[in-house]
Structure 1
Amino acid sequence: METVLGGLSALLFLVTLIQRDWIETVFGFEPDAGSGAVEWLIVAVTALVTVLCALGARTEWRRTHPSTAPAVR
């Protein structure tokens, strides 16, 4: 689940970086009166969600696939 959510947020992150006025194009209105503040907020939030999902997926992977290396004493 973390992988799917992380991938979707990463995609939204990239779309917002490339096409900053996609909200106006898709929805037909300007929530921030053209300043771009909403788009930058989306970039920040989706970047954070992507990082958190990647960390969650890594934690889940490590929990379900424990290391087989012997412990160092």
Structure 2
Amino acid sequence: MSASPPRRRFLTAGLGSTLLLLGSGGGCRARHREPIRFATNPWPGFDPLYIARDKGYFDDAGLNVALVDLT
């Protein structure tokens, strides 16, 4: 039993989109990566960024993060 035409178009579009997204991610690896810069100020909402930096979570995830204090 085959899928109905609207369902077939939906499945084909979903499969095509998925393949396009997976295929386009190949060029995302760079040898020299610039740091991700977060501009912060004295506000408690930025504390998790400082805690993550101090505990080394960014390094564990392979991220190069720089926190820039704007006070």
TM tier relative to shorter chain? 0.3 to 0.5
Instruction: Determine which structure has the larger helix proportion and give its number.
Output: 1
Query: Could you say which structure has the greater relative contact order, defined with CA pairs below 8 angstroms and 6 or more residues apart?
Result: 1
Instruction: Determine which structure has the larger strand proportion and give its number.
Output: 2
